[in-house]
Structure 1
Amino acid sequence: MSGSASELARRLGEHAEAVCREYLSNGHRSGNHWIVGDVRNTRGRSMHVRLRANTKGPSGKWVDEASGEHGDLLDVIRESCGLIVFRDVADEARRFLALPRPQPLVSDQSRQPAAARGSPEAARRLFAMSQPLAGTLAERYLAGRGILLPAGEPALRFHPGCYYRDLVTGETVILPALIAAVSGVDGRITGLQRTWLDPAGTGKAQLVDPRRSLGNLLGNAIWLGLSPGTPVPVMAAGEGFETMASLRTVMPALPVAAATSANHLSALSFPPGCRRLYIAADADAAGRHGIERLSQRAGEAGILALTLRPRLGDFNDDLRHLGPGHLAAWLGDQLAPDDARVLLPSA
């Protein structure tokens, strides 16, 4: 059997009622439709699954009239089982299709309990499914952006087949992705950020939004160089991952935090022992509120906040277009003298 998404969806559609009885057991049949609350198997009546093909479309297609969501039976398997990556969805679909005929209302008791969509547990599962960065497409992508990080950066991983769904059309594709863990200062993963990549190695995937986050982000960040429980007297923080990774490329001894947005930056939690905080600004004014609020909170906590400004649009632009040497020299003029001697010994 072909492993493609379209072929799996078609095969599942041939057994649409059996699929619904297995994965949407809180619903019931009504005419040519299976009626249930939503794609996550909630009790209710707003979601309709077409059980036999007709003039309106093929069997297995569904729509949730309350939320506007729609899709096929692969989406049903993904959401009802709490799966994240397509490989696991496809494996579950193949398992189901290999059965001679599922008995009504019987579920697979060995299935792993579902993780709530977008939850910290879902983030931790996806991170655990990913592989170390070394030698992967994600490492090559970062190198192409001029970003060279210390070996074994624990917050970063790679997934060769991460599930991406277009929020407008509902269509799904499977693409490799750079996975960056979002965690608290205690090191516990609370979320993550996915950057989908072009399999040909030309950069980010050609998607409307090739970078998405999930989980609990507020107060947390993508931490690079943080040792949980160890005092962090000097650190840097900013919005974007690539901005902060660029700073760490030229200052590998500096712990940095990428908060993923201006609002999340303003609420960033400070690690123990922090005395000096460098806040990375972009050339535009979009993140000014986050910088000002974080500076205010730092001052209230007795932390000296200093702003680092790029020459170009952001620090990754500086790194790629001006080079690490010029970026280090530019930063040396903005750092406190003691920090410049420690963080930029060759500057």
Structure 2
Amino acid sequence: MTNYGSKFERLDPGALSRGLARHAEAFCRHWFPEGRKVGNYWQMADISGAKGRSLTIRLNAQGNSQAGKWTDHQNGDHGDLLDLLHYRLEPVAYPDLLRQAADYLGEAPVIPDDGTSDYEPAVTSNRQIEAGRRLFSYGRPIKNTLAEAYLRGRGIARFGPALAFHPNAYLRAEDGTRLEIPALLAAITDNAGTVTGCSRVFLNAQTSGLADIEAPKRVLGRLHGNAIRFGEVSACTDLLAGEGLENTLSVGMALPKAALASCLTANHLAAFAYPASIKRLWIARDNDEAGARAATRLADRADADGIEPLILTPERDDFNLDLTTDGVTKLRRRLAAFINAHASEHDLWPSA
């Protein structure tokens, strides 16, 4: 066992973060080998490191933009390489995280003599949370709007007060240009029902599909631990938690009585803070490696808390593809057979 001793007692998180940023490309290749380099960025699906393009890490400084900073363009999360290392090693105690970073760098920078450090872990600010609440309050019901057309085009007709439509929600393009684009809005809430953010699905008014922009699905506010909810979540004994909004609502089409929680991404599904009052947690995962990892992590936590976890897996890539390919009746029969085989009592599906 390594004896860290006093060498690691006063590690400076800010210095470690800067040290990792100086070796950003080597860091990415070591810790996230499934990603790939594209120009000045390392691209991957999300903080899991899976193949994809939604999360980008800047490898070298550009003007006022620092090396080592990353953004998940799907949900708005961002931070530095120390944050990514934390996610990679999770669960890990913070002192152990600093030791791992120092070991990787081969050095142990210490806290300055005045006891200050410029490092602050990436957190969602109260300003972002309030902006998300305000944005959702500006939305209007989705009936007879582009948002309804988009969902119906995905085979979805289960809606609810968590959804709204904004005809010209704005976002800032990478070049600084302000764009105004219609968007499906969804309120993100905690277990107390407090709105902590707003999901935005930017839409194309001509096609009723997704807007032709980079990362048309974004989050404003705090998503971690929270979800977009449908049905009687506060009173249910069985809760169904899923990844993407469309995929979760697709399961909801087949299970019209089910209380639903859409966590939007695999990583946020794994981090979902389920209500302590439920008896069973049904986890609707996507049919890929990220979905499998997220479902297992969430199931392990629920099981440790005395809540029975059960995992639902689509036949194809995701449940929306199952819905649009097979239709709601076939999907309902398949899910009902699985549910009734694994739970004699539940409030997802009427008893026979």
1:219 alignment counterpart: 225
Give the match for residue 64 of structure 2: 66
Cα deviation, residue 276, structure 1: 0.8
Counterpart secondary structure, 2:289: coil
Asked if 1:163 corresponds to 2:170, the answer is: yes
Aligned residue type for 2:252:
R
Deviation of the 1:214 alpha carbon:
1.8
Which residue matches 1:41?
none
CA RMSD of aligned residues (A): 2.4
1:281 aligns with 2:285: yes
Q: Judging changes above 3 Å, is the alpha-carbon distance between structure 1 residues 345 and 226 closer, same or farther for their aligned structure 2 residues? A: closer
Please tell me the residue identity of whatever aligns with 1:143: R
Q: Which runs of 4+ in 1 moved over 6 A?
A: none
Structure number with higher relative contact order (C-alpha < 8 Å, ≥ 6 residues apart):
2
Residues 1:332 and 1:240: Cα distance change in structure 2 (over 3 Å): same
Give the whole-Å Cα distance in 1 for the aligned partners of 2:344 and 2:136: 34
Q: CA deviation at 1:171?
A: 2.7
Counterpart residue number, 2:235: 231
Which residue in the other structure is 1:334 paired with?
338
Following superposition, the deviation at residue 135 of structure 1 comes to 1.5
What is the CA distance between 1:281 and its match in structure 2?
A: 1.7
Check 1:261–1:298 CA distance in 2 against 1; reply closer, same or farther (3 A cut): same
Read off the aligned partner of 1:156 and give its amino acid letter: L
1:340 and 1:322, CA in 2 relative to 1: closer, same or farther beyond 3 A?
farther
Separation of aligned partners in 2, 1:173 and 1:117: 24
Query: Cα 1:259–1:342, aligned 2, differ >3 Å: closer, same or farther?
Result: closer
Q: Could you tell me which residue of structure 2 aligns to residue 269 of structure 1? A: 273
Residue 19 of structure 1 corresponds to which residue in structure 2? none
Q: Distance in 2 between matches of 1:324 and 1:316?
A: 10
* Cα distance change on mapping 1:215 and 1:341 into 2, 3 Å: closer
Q: 1:262 to 1:251 in 2, by over 3 A?
A: same
Measured in 1, the distance between the counterparts of 2:135 and 2:220 equals 11
Partner of residue 122, structure 1: 131
Code of the residue aligned with 1:125 in structure 2: it is: R
Q: Deviations over 1:224-274 (max 9, x none)?
A: 1145xx332001112111110111112121011111222211121122420
Are 2:185 and 1:179 equivalent residues in the alignment?
yes
TM-score normalised by length of structure 2:
0.62
2:246 match: 242
1:131 counterpart residue number: 140
Larger radius of gyration: 1
Q: Is the 8 A contact 1:231 1:271 kept in 2?
A: no
TM superposition shift of 1:324: 0.2
Q: 1:309 aligns with which of 313, 321, 324?
A: 313
Shift of 1:288: 2.2
SS at match of 2:130: helix
Q: For residue 326 of structure 1, what is the amino acid of its counterpart?
A: K
- Shift of the alpha carbon at 1:206? 0.9
Q: 2:154 & 2:228 partners in 1: Cα distance?
A: 18
User: What percentage of residue pairs aligned between the two structures are identical?
Assistant: 40
Whole-angstrom distance in 1 between the partners of 2:298 and 2:351: 30
How far apart are 1:286 and its partner, in Å? 1.9
Give the whole-Å Cα distance in 1 for the aligned partners of 2:252 and 2:344: 14
Cross-structure match for 1:191 = 197
Contact 1:332 1:340 in 2 (8 A): no
Report SS of the residue matched to 1:158: strand
Mapped contact 1:246–1:315 kept (Cα < 8 A): yes
CA contact (8 A) 2:257 2:349 kept: no
Change (3 A) 1:251 1:340: farther
Q: 1:259 to 1:232 in 2, by over 3 A?
A: same
What SS does structure 2 have at the residue aligned with 1:336? helix
Residues 252 and 118 of structure 1, relative CA distance in 2, 3 Å threshold: farther
Is residue 290 from structure 1 mapped to residue 294 from structure 2 by the alignment?
Answer: yes
Amino acid at match of 1:273: S
